[in-house]
Amino acid sequence: MASWDYAANGPATWAKSFPAAAGQKQSPIDINPGSAAKESVGALSVNYKAGNNTLTNTGLSFAVSIDGSLSGGPLGSEFKAASFHFHWDKSSAAGSEHTIGGKAYASEVHIVHYNASKFSSVADAANVDGGLAVLAIFVQPGAANAEIQKLVDVLPSCGSNGASAAIPGGFNASALLPGDKASYWYYPGSLTTPPCSETVTWIVYKDAISMSEDQLAAFRNVTPCNFRPVQSVGGRKVCCSF
Ligand code: BO1
Ligand code: ZN
């Protein structure tokens, strides 16, 4: 299989070409809120700065480059922000990758960070245990999100795989964070796309953000569906900050 997708070469087939996809620490997972272990961790520190933000069509999604840092919470060292992207489905009944007690959201944002004490890029960090930290934020349909509208406005000029464009005025990634920044789950997992490397500390916020159905529809013009179904939790401990 030369390539992978969410159709004929979908998630059930990925392990043939990407053996890590059949591992025991895969993502996403269904988080059972009742069985998460409360641990006392320090405050999570998240700092993003708007600047030169480029949106790139990656074929099965789009990604936006960002600058910033992430530390504290369950993380032992300083991480640098690299980019964010979304996952979604053809209708708003599904689309998130993680689920909470079996509930799916319409979309899920992933803000990707790499361990800056050891690596200088996501690509280097993606192969090594503890290399990556991804913040996940659920999105529910509702009020339009003004910052996300900047992405919707740029998407038509990035219509094909590999096309990219600057976001006029930059993008404030802090607008992707929910109101309640103190309540999240965390667990050790993987990239949710090939190569599905098991190198990610996942931090999944409890609180969701909203965007409008029209904004979700604009994402679906890139591709109709790009979420991986939940994987087995196995023996992993899922913790919560709250
Ligand atoms: S995700 O957040 O688990 N859905 C995820 C999945 C795949 C990647 C990142 C996050 N892959 C990485 C590549 C890097 C690349 C980066 C930027 O994406 O391993 O080489 O720079 O999109
Ligand atoms: Zn993702």
Q: Which amino acid, one-letter code, is at 187?
A: Y
Given ligand 1 and candidates 191, 192, 231, which is best to mutate, with the most ligand atoms within 8 Å of its CB?
A: 191
Print the SS3 string covering 180-223: CCCCEEEEEECCCCCCCCCCEEEEEECCCEEECHHHHHHHHCCC
Task: Answer whether 0.90 is exceeded by the pTM.
Answer: yes
Determine the atom of ligand 1 nearest the C-alpha atom of 192.
3
In testing the pocket of ligand 1, which one of 110, 193, 198, 199 has its CB within 8 Å of the most ligand atoms?
193
Question: What is the value of ipTM here, to two decimals?
Answer: 0.93
Superfamily of domain 11-240 in CATH is Alpha carbonic anhydrase (3.10.200.10)
Contacts of 207 (CB under 8 A, 6+ apart): 178, 179, 180, 183
pLDDT at 2: 64
The domains of the chain are located at 11-240
CA gyration radius, the chain: 17
Say how far apart CA 163 and CA 117 lie, in whole Å. 32
Residue numbers in the chain where pLDDT is lower than 70:
1-2
Distance from Cα 36 to the centre of ligand 2, integer Å:
22
What does the pLDDT read at residue 1?
Answer: 57
What pLDDT, in 10s, does the model give residues 30-87?
999 999 999 999 999 999 999 999 999 999 999 999 999 999 999 999 999 999 999 9
Burial class (CB in 10 A: 0-12, 13-18, 19+), 98: buried
Give Cβ neighbours of residue 86 (< 8 Å, ≥ 6 apart): 61, 62, 107, 108, 109, 110, 139, 219
Atom of ligand 1 nearest to the CA of 63: 22
What is the reported pLDDT for 198?
98
